[in-house]
Chain A
Amino acid sequence: MSALRTVLNELVGLFVDDGSLALTLLLWTILMGLAVALFTPAPGVMAALLVVGYLAALLVNVWRAGRP
């Protein structure tokens, strides 16, 4: 069982180092998915919003990490 737990921890660790960044990225993805389903914006607007959201999440996260 502990070997299985170790393997699972390793697998999760491939994708999640800082839980808050991973959660923010996933939440932004869900929001954008809802927006795409509900609205029909001009081409490129949703793409730009998706990218801006991800970049903002990264920048806020590293800024906060520099100030423990």
Chain B
Amino acid sequence: MSWTQTAPTMAAAFLASLVECVEALTIVLAVGTVRGWRSAFAGTGAAAVALLAVVLVLGPTLSRIPVQGLQLVVGLLLLLFGMRWLRKAILRAAGVVALHDEEAVFRSEAANLRLAAVTARHGVDPIATVTAFKAVLLEGVEVVFIVLALGAAPGLLWPAAAGAGAAALLVVLVGLIVHRPLAQVPENTLKFAVGVLIAAFGVFWTGEGLGIAWPGHDLAIPVLAVLLLAAGLAGVRLAAAGRAAAAAGSAAS
């Protein structure tokens, strides 16, 4: 497996997982702060085990599926996933949609947890545990999809898993030190970059699955990323211009 596929795979898995882990950390921090760390860690641990089991079962299974069919299906899923992230990042950058606010999510979740009745047994609060479990599981499903999809090509599962693992470890370490939602992380910039990378892989693999020959083969991936980045930046201007025109139109009427 060449570095032209390994490096982008690790980078995409790392960045995408970083975003998801930051979002999961916010909820886990809220649970731990309001309802106790034993419950937060219990829920997180249970979700991590469930996600690991999914990767260990599905990862090797994917390698048994015929390559061209797998490339088309995985390519389409990566394309839809990446374009979804890129579209949202464009609209957030253009001011059409509000930026994601980790501090606000933390305050909201903490407030909800304070309202719920405490029913701890053996030091573990079921509501808190389930809240942490659900948050880590939901965000983790996206990480698992990214690892499995990017790692579906022969030899890429471990680089993708390593990228995701490194991101999770980094977020956990920073979270343990800082003990606050990582609101300073430039989330929309990260989502923009992840959308570009994942969509680039998606376009490449969809093309491979359709039998399209990419000039330069693997080297087409970074070229696709540059084209998607350019389109994304143009999209921010288009969306902002559209929003300004709509605002001017309503002000006039």
Contacts and interface: CB of A to CB of B under 8 A. Distances in A.
Interface stretch (B90-98, B156-164, B180-188): B90-98
Given A14-B142, A65-B239, A67-B246, A58 B203 contact: no
A10 B207 CA distance: 27
A50 B232 CA distance: 17
A62 B239 contact: yes
Given A32-B210, A66-B239, 20 more contacts: A10-B138, A11-B141, A14-B81, A18-B84, A22-B84, A26-B76, A26-B80, A29-B79, A44-B215, A46-B207, A50-B203, A50-B210, A54-B83, A55-B228, A58-B232, A62-B238, A63-B238, A65-B96, A66-B91, A68-B246
Residue in B210, B227, B234, B246 whose Cβ sees the most chain A Cβ within 10 Å: B210
Contacts of B243: 66-67
Mostly helix, strand, loop or mixed at chain A's interface? helix
B245 interface: yes
Contacts of B86: 58
A29 B246 contact: no
Contact of A16 (B80, B138, B231, B232): B80
B87 A64 contact: no
28 contacts: A10-B138, A14-B84, A14-B142, A17-B84, A18-B87, A22-B80, A22-B84, A44-B213, A46-B207, A47-B215, A50-B206, A50-B207, A54-B83, A54-B203, A58-B83, A59-B238, A61-B87, A62-B94, A62-B238, A62-B239, A63-B239, A63-B241, A63-B242, A65-B239, A66-B91, A66-B238, A67-B242, A67-B243
